[in-house]
Structure 1
Amino acid sequence: MIKFGTGGFRAIIAEDFTRENLELISLALVRIIKRDMKQSLPVVIGYDRRFLSDLASKWMACVFAAEGIKVNLIDYDAPTPLIMYEVMKENAAYGMAVTASHNPAQYNGVKVFTSGGRDATETVTNDIEAQIALISKADIRSMEYSRAIASGLIIAINPQNSYIDSILKIIDYEAIKNKNLKILLDPMYGVSKTTLQTILLTCRCQVDVIHDRHDTLFGGRLPSPNSSTLYHLSQLVVQGGYDMGIATDGDADRIGLIDSSGTFIHPNDILVLLYFYLHEFKGWKGDVVRNIATTHCLDRMAAAFGEKCHEVPVGFKHISSKMMETDALIGGESSGGLTVRGHIQGKDGVYAGSLLVEMMSVIGKPLNEILKDIHTKYGSFFMDEFDCLMTGERKLDLSNLLFREKQIPEFPWAIDKISYLDGCKIYFKDGGWVICRFSGTEPVLRIFSEMPSLEDAKSVINIFRSFLQL
């Protein structure tokens, strides 16, 4: 079964991630393109380093070619934000990235991008699913790859230089060059090495790289830059006397950060750092957009700036849509994805890493000192989280309990309001909150809590776990 979640279509390889399903998705998009009279525009397809990603991109491209639609194929492992940039630059009808982002190695998937390089909205992915339901296996045609190349229906492209140059034009090259920072980069066996390393070396940083070989098992760990997966980066930053460590997930649209003391900087704090820097040092104005499971420190900062913080459901398509609607300055999520106005309309770990290096160069302080100054001014917020794998039956039981019966635990904190915008989010009157929701990309139940103290955040989660018998 082909279902698009918050981050596109993702499935276990050889179960639902199959050639037939990828060809179904491609033909469904072909029919939408022809229905909407966009067949004169190209489709951009790229892929990451996961198992079968390179072959899968060609399987999909050959379906478009058989239907007479031109494909610009980025025929090397490329960051997802680079693919989005190329969709925007070439005014393509659609873009597709073969990736399962930060999911475990047994997964692969497809992200779809619409005109302008934006994440496909739920309306678009629902349309694709509806078209798939009308297609039979006999409808699928595929042109031989070599023939498609010879006929010009598939064109192999390399937009890497253009993408790198677009970031170098935005960041303060001179400020970074004068600081001679020492950076340790961890692509997590993914696709960010060439682009991010090139940008930082061009800015005269000293850059060393770890975990950069092609390994479809991602070194036996999850390709997600969090506190548990970046322990090696943390150790090496301290041992090597680096100013910071930067990590990106498997397709380089998310970022992780380690400061000079080896401390993991939570993605919430990355957003706080960049919102503060862009507003107070670069003089850029505008609202901020966060998803429902991201820090409310952004709300407090926005209020102090005379701006507004907008809350949206999980899924970056909601963040980019709200940013377009409000002309917001920055938008992001607590899992490490963010974007800034003036670049692509989607998350970009390469640009985020470059901007953080610029911030540290301009402010001239270690990351932990900058954060300390911000929290002294706007208050401290502490987040804890819990994940639990779910069977289908258990998910149904908990869904009924939370979303149909709308039962919640008893808490020792006064409740201000409850939202069912995406999952069940409980707002406490002291400013803290907790949310319980099912992942849109994995069979996982997630609970997040942010409170005035870490002890309270952990306590809230434990109360919810006990209530759900997890």
Structure 2
Amino acid sequence: MIQFGTGGWRAIIGDGFTKANVRLLVQGLSDRMHDEGVADRGTVVGYDRRFLSAEAAEWATEVFAGNGIHVQFIDRPVPTPMLMWTVRNLGCAYGLAVTASHNPALYNGIKVFTEGGRDAEAEVTDSLGEAINMLAPGEVRALGFEEAKDQGLVTTQTSINWYLDSIIDALDLETIRHRHLHIVLDPMFGVAQTGLQTILMTARCQVDVINSRHDTLFGGRMPSPNVGSLQWLRHEVEHRGADLGIATDGDADRLGIIDDAGNFLHPNQILVLLYEYLLTGKGWTGPAVRNMSTTHLLDRVAEAHGEQCYEVPVGFKWISSKMAETDAVIGGESSGGLTVRGHIAGKDGIYAGCLLVEMVAASGKKLSELWADIEARYGRLEMVERAFGFTAARREELQRRVFVDHDLPDFAREVERVSWEDGAKIYFADGGWVTIRFSGTEPVLRVFAEAGSLDEAEAAADLVARHLGLEA
């Protein structure tokens, strides 16, 4: 069965991620495009550096071509946000990227994009999944890749400069040029190096790069920029005396930052910093959007500027949709993805990293000083994250116990309310909160907690784990 999660379809290579399943998925999407009368608008196909990504992109292209749908085929590993930008720029109704984003190297997958280069919403992926799983392999129509090119059904594209130029045009390069910033870049063996290095060097930054080779095992790490995976980047920033370090996940839609003092900046901090900069440094106005497991410090920034911060379920498609509805300035999530009004309606680690560089340049301060200013103005909130694996039987038990029976621990704190919109979120009267939900991208149960102190946040998360008998 092909099942879509919050970040598309992902499966273990050789198990669920097979040529047959890729072809079935694309046949289902091709049928949908014909049914909706949008097949004549063509589609975009691209891929990242994972094992079998290039081959799977060709398998997908062959099925589109077999259904008479023209494909703009990006014939080099590229960032997922670049593909989203291309779908929007070419006016395609659909597009796809072969990627499993930040998942372990054992996985690969496909992200589906819709009108305007957006992540496909749940109603699209739910109905698409149902249609795909009703198909038989014999119903797949395919045309050989080279034959499809000969027939004009495939146009290959190598350049990514249109996308890069759109970011360059949105930045204050003049201000960046005169700060002569020193930046260490860690693409985590993924696809961000060319894009980030090109833009930052155009802005006259000194750029050093680590972990840039093509390694489908991602150096033995998960290609996810977090405090545990960026120790090498931290060392290089400190050793070289750099102004900051920028890391992106495997397909460059998520961001991780090391500041000038060697501190890991949590994605929550990046989101808050950039929102404050867009409001005060660039004079923008408008609300912010975050998901349910992202810091409420963003709400404090919004309130201080007479704006509102909207909360949505986990999954960037919800953020994009709410941003469009409210004309929000920024939207993001605690896992490292964010976007800004006027750019693509999806996560973009390259654009976000460059905007952060502009912020540092425009401020004339160190990044560590900018965060100290935020805490002095808005206070401090601490978040902890836990991830718990489970067996199939345990998942059923947890699903029933938490989300059907609503069996929650006694937190010994005043609970203001509980939301069951996406998993469970417990809001405390003192402003803290806890979320419990199954991941949409990995087989884990996630528990997030935020409070005024790290001890409080850890105590709340640990209480949930003990109550449910969970082990990390």
- TM tier, smaller: over 0.9
- The residue aligned with 1:236 is 236
Work out whether residues 86 and 159 of structure 1, in 8 Å CA contact, stay in contact via their aligned partners in 2.
no
* 8 Å Cα contact 1:391-1:443 kept in structure 2: no
Percent identity over the alignment is 53
C-alpha displacement at 1:421, in angstroms? 1.3
Q: Which residue of 1 aligns with 2:334?
A: 334
Name the counterpart of 1:442.
442
Counterpart amino acid of 2:284?
W
- Deviation of 1:158 after TM superposition, in Å, equals 2.6
2:68 matches 1:75: no
3-state SS of paired residue (2:286): coil
Matched residue, 2:307: 307
How is 1:258-407 mapped onto 2 (pairs within 5 angstroms)?
258-407=258-407
- 1:146 paired residue number: 146
Spell out the pairing of 1:177-192 with structure 2 (5 A cutoff): 177-192=177-192
C-alpha distance in 1, partners of 2:423/2:17?
27
* C-alpha contact (below 8 Å) 1:10/1:100 kept by paired residues: yes
Conserved? CA contact 1:238–1:261, under 8 Å: yes
Letter matched to residue 112 of structure 2: V
CA contact (8 A) 1:114 1:120 kept: yes
Counterpart of 1:39 in structure 2: which amino acid? Answer: A
Q: Give the structure 1 partner of residue 98 of structure 2.
A: 98
User: Offset at 1:414?
Assistant: 1.1
Aligned to 1:60: 60
Shift of 1:159: 4.1
Secondary structure of the residue that 2:75 maps to in structure 1? strand
> 1:51-86: per-residue Cα shift (whole Å, max 9, x none)?
000000000000010111100000100000000000
**Distance in 1 (alpha carbons) for counterparts of 2:126 and 2:26:** 14
Matched residues in 2 for 1:348 and 1:79: separation? 9
Give RMSD over aligned pairs: 0.7
Q: Partners in 1 of 2:286 and 2:134 — Cα distance?
A: 44
2:295, 2:450 within 8 Å by CA — same for their partners in 1?
yes
Question: 2: distance between equivalents of 1:139 and 1:252?
Answer: 35
What is the alpha-carbon distance in structure 2 between the residues aligned to residue 38 and residue 50 of structure 1? Answer: 30
User: Which whole-Å CA distance do the structure 2 matches of 1:413 and 1:372 have between them?
Assistant: 30
Partner of 2:463: 463
Contact 2:436/2:446 (<8 A) preserved? yes
Q: How does 1:123-272 map to 2 (within 5 A)?
A: 123-272=123-272
- Cα distance in structure 2, aligned partners of 1:159 and 1:45: 14
Which segments of structure 1 move beyond 6 Å, counting only runs of 4 or more?
Answer: none
The 3-state SS of whatever aligns with 2:40 is: coil
1:22 alignment partner in structure 2: 22
- The whole-number CA distance in structure 2 between the counterparts of 1:312 and 1:110 is 24
Report the secondary structure of 1:449's partner residue: strand
Q: 2 CA distance for matches of 1:233 and 1:345?
A: 29
Distance in 2 between residues matched to 1:396 and 1:259, nearest whole Å: 42
The code of the aligned residue for 1:363 comes to S
Q: State the SS of the aligned residue for 2:33.
A: helix
Q: Distance in 1 between matches of 2:299 and 2:260?
A: 28
Task: Supply the distance in 1 between the matched residues of 2:74 and 2:358 (Cα, whole angstroms).
Answer: 29
**TM-score, L = length of structure 1:** 0.99
Higher mean Cα deviation, 388-397 or 169-178? Answer: 388-397
Question: Retained in 2: the 8 A contact 1:7–1:111?
Answer: yes
Q: Deviations over 1:382-441 (max 9, x none)?
A: 001111112111111111111111011011221111111111111111100011111001
Deviations 1:319-343 (A, max 9, x none): 0011011111100000000000011
Q: Distance in 1 between matches of 2:455 and 2:351?
A: 34
CA contact (8 A) 2:2 2:133 kept: no
1:412 equivalent to 2:399? Answer: no
Decide whether aligned partners of structure 1 residues 159 and 91 sit closer, same or farther in structure 2, where only a CA change above 3 A counts: farther
Shift of 1:248: 0.1
Deviates more, 1:374-383 or 1:95-104: 374-383
Equivalence for 2:47: 47
Unaligned runs of 5+ in 1: none
Quote the Cα distance in structure 2 between the aligned partners of 1:354 and 1:460. 36
1:367 shift after superposition: 1.3
Distance (whole Å) between structure 1 residues aligned to residue 133 and residue 389 of structure 2 = 29
| Contact 1:6 1:316 (C-alpha < 8 Å) held by counterparts | yes
- Taking the aligned partners of 2:409 and 2:369, their CA distance within structure 1 comes to 38
2:368 corresponds to which letter in structure 1?
Answer: N
CA distance in 1 between partners of 2:276 and 2:312 (Å): 21
Q: Which amino acid aligns with 1:188?
A: M
| 3-state SS of 1:155 partner | strand
Deviation at 1:130, TM superposition (A): 2.2
Contact 1:117–1:345 (CA under 8 A) maintained in structure 2: yes
Q: Deviations over 1:8-32 (max 9, x none)?
A: 0000001000111111111111111
Alpha-carbon distance, 1:134 to partner:
3.1
Contact 2:288 2:331 in 1 (8 A): yes
Within the alignment, does 1:116 sit opposite 2:116 as a pair? yes
**What amino acid is aligned across from residue 105 of structure 1 in structure 2?**
A
- Please say if residues 99 and 110 of structure 1, whose CA atoms lie closer than 8 Å, have aligned partners that are also in contact: yes
Could you list the runs of 5+ residues in structure 2 that have no partner in the other structure?
A: none
Question: What is the CA–CA distance in structure 1 between the aligned matches of 2:247 and 2:409, rounded to whole Å?
Answer: 37
Alpha-carbon separation, structure 2, partners of 1:158 and 1:131: 33
Measured after TM superposition, the shift of residue 215 of structure 1 is: 0.2
Shift of 1:379: 1.4
Amino acid in structure 2 at the alignment position of 1:410: D
Q: Distance in 2 between matches of 1:182 and 1:368?
A: 15
Q: Distance in 1 between the 2:35 and 2:61 partners?
A: 19
Equivalent position SS for 1:110: strand
> Deviation per CA, 1:209-256, whole angstroms, max 9, x where unpaired?
000000000000010000000001001100000000000000000000
Size of the aligned set, in residue pairs, is 470
